[in-house]
A and B are shown apart, each in its own frame.
Chain A
Amino acid sequence: MTAEVISELLREHINRLIASGKRADGRGFDDPRPLTVQKNYIKNAEGSARVQLGNTDVLVGVKIDVGEPYPDTPNQGVLSTSVELVPLASPNFEAGPPSPTAIEIARVVDRGIRESKTVNTQKLCITPKEKVWIMFIDIHALDYDGNLFDAASYGALAALSCAKVPASKIGKEDYPLPLEHWPISVTAAKIGGRIVVDPNLDEERIADARITVTTDENGDIRAMQKGLKGSFSLDEVRAAIRTSQKVGKGLRGIIQRA
């Protein structure tokens, strides 16, 4: 990504608003943007979802194929997550190999899904040590207006939740992907010492630090990632965890019902 430029006027405007407890788009500090989820968007994918988080638009496809297990987990399916920040989605995205940003998003989304054991990978074994189902989660950014971490993670969960294992390929019956948990990531940005949930692009550009906390349906923490050049105090991290637990509940419901 090339260096992003934001006008000093806009920076001051957002900072001033936030200092007075407001946000440019009228949201409260703990309010995410509206989330819409359309499942089964792509019929050639085993699972898919198009997710809009405000004006951030992400399409996620899950392809499931037969492959070899890892030697240390011979009877478990495999999960692989990648993110493509295609130039169509933003003037600042460039074609080419994945940028560190794309890699970071993919790894944080992957961590949330993997560590919460969202998919029961034991039920994805065909022949131990030889054949298992491999899930490829491919996240395609379509329109980038901030907070791809969460949009990508909601899209991935939604796509997994409607995915079918194509067992008919090996002479059995297709079955739904065994989904057992619903991890929800909530990302917050620190701007001028205040912390706002689900930063839009303008907010993200002026943010000092970013924190993503992924919690499960019990409110337990499954993954975390601090980003950007600023820092958080321990109390701020604790607050971010509480916010993630609270905000995550509502968002989980939207994804489950979609």
Chain B
Amino acid sequence: MEDIEHIPKELKLIDEKGIRLDGRRFNELRPIKIEAGVLKKADGSAYMEWGNNKVLAAVYGPREAHPRHLQNPAKALVQCRYNMAPFSVTDRKRPGPDRRSVEISKVISEAFASVVFVEQFPRTSVDIYIEVLQADAGTRCAGLTAASVALADAGIPMRDLVASCASGKIGGVVALDLNKDEDNFGEADCPMAIVPRSGEIVLLQMDGHLTADEFDQAMDLSINAAKQIYELQRDALRRRYASVAEAAEQEAMREPAPSEAPREMPPDLPPEVDDL
């Protein structure tokens, strides 16, 4: 259980002027920072800070799916493991999967399965690992957003990135991106994820108490925010590959012009493909 006794029960989550505890208005996101390609061994990775959340995501694959009976002869599997570090929350979390993280892993896997071109990689698995290093509510949205950048960084073919954000209700007001105190003492929380270009909803959960109208307001806030987050994701990828492109350019300037002689052609397929 979280240590929440320091907060009085009659705490006002949003004041008369519409200012929240951390100074935001109802429609403002916490500060967000995304960096792509932060890990050496992973095929793709991203680090994200979202308010006080700190989240790392890594992608491995497509690689042979294990255990083998899970392999799909027609498609790749998209398997996500969402995990919280024991020190990421106020009271130590017992290491390893609990019911919450199993559920979150499942809904995130399903959210990505519709954007990855799974038909291109039969029998393989695209493995997504999300590690929550510091948690302050909204970790599944942060994890999903970072994982999306990591997938792109790994060069996994996708229809689009997935951008995620939550909205909820605090002190009777529908508000964007709840932090930990707001989540604990608010009336509702509704995380969602969209494919920004098509607007499709690929993840949606809700708990608490919302009328149908309030749900509409919450989704409006979240969708707008997801579009801002989408720009930050693209930005992170551009920054990552701007430096790669620059390095390649410099390399090209240093090397003499390539000779006319045809180079040895690489074989059509890497040899291990036959083994699949």
Q: Are A224 and B103 in contact (CB under 8 A)?
A: no
Judge whether A230 is part of the interface by a CB distance below 8 angstroms: yes
Residue of B nearest to A215 (CB): B212
- Distance in angstroms between the alpha carbons of A66 and B2 in the assembled complex: 23
Q: Are A227 and B107 in contact (CB under 8 A)?
A: yes
Given A3-B72, A226-B203, A234-B201, check contact A103 B102 (CB 8 Å): yes
- Measured between beta carbons, the chain B residues less than 8 angstroms from A101 are 106
Q: Are B110 and A227 in contact (CB under 8 A)?
A: yes
Given A104-B103, A233-B201, check contact A115 B208 (CB 8 Å): yes
Q: Are B114 and A229 in contact (CB under 8 A)?
A: yes
Given A70-B1, A222-B209, A231-B200, check contact A238 B216 (CB 8 Å): yes
Q: Is the interface of B mostly helix, strand, loop or mixed?
A: mixed
Question: B204's contact among A106, A220, A237, by CB below 8 Å, is which?
Answer: A237
- Measured between beta carbons, the chain B residues less than 8 angstroms from A114 are 207
Judge whether A205 is part of the interface by a CB distance below 8 angstroms: no
Question: B211's contact among A3, A221, A225, by CB below 8 Å, is which?
Answer: A221
Q: List B residues at the A interface (Cβ < 8 Å).
A: 1-5, 69-70, 72, 99-100, 102-103, 105-107, 110, 113-114, 188, 190, 195, 199-212, 215-216, 219, 223
Q: Are B201 and A107 in contact (CB under 8 A)?
A: no
Per-position contact with B for A214-258: 1 when CB-CB < 8 Å, else 0?
Answer: 000001111111111111111001100110010000000000000
Q: Are A72 and B110 in contact (CB under 8 A)?
A: no
Q: What are 5 A-B pairs at a CB distance below 8 A? A: A71-B5, A100-B105, A223-B206, A232-B200, A238-B216
Q: Are B102 and A100 in contact (CB under 8 A)?
A: yes
Residue of B nearest to A81 (CB): B99
- Measured between beta carbons, the chain A residues less than 8 angstroms from B206 are 221, 223-225
Question: B207's contact among A71, A111, A228, A238, by CB below 8 Å, is which?
Answer: A111
Q: List A residues at the B interface (Cβ < 8 Å).
A: 2-3, 70-72, 98, 100-101, 103-104, 106-107, 111, 114-116, 211, 219-234, 237-238, 241-242, 245
Question: A104's contact among B4, B5, B106, B207, by CB below 8 Å, is which?
Answer: B106
CB distance from A134 to the nearest CB of B (A): 15
- Measured between beta carbons, the chain A residues less than 8 angstroms from B107 are 104, 225-227
CB distance from B227 to the nearest CB of A (A): 13
Residue of B nearest to A99 (CB): B102
Given A103-B102, A107-B100, A107-B103, check contact A232 B209 (CB 8 Å): no
Q: Are B2 and A100 in contact (CB under 8 A)?
A: no
5 pairs of A and B residues whose beta carbons are closest in the complex: A231-B200, A224-B206, A226-B204, A229-B113, A100-B106
Q: Are B211 and A234 in contact (CB under 8 A)?
A: no
Q: Are B207 and A233 in contact (CB under 8 A)?
A: no
- Distance in angstroms between the alpha carbons of A226 and B201 in the assembled complex: 9
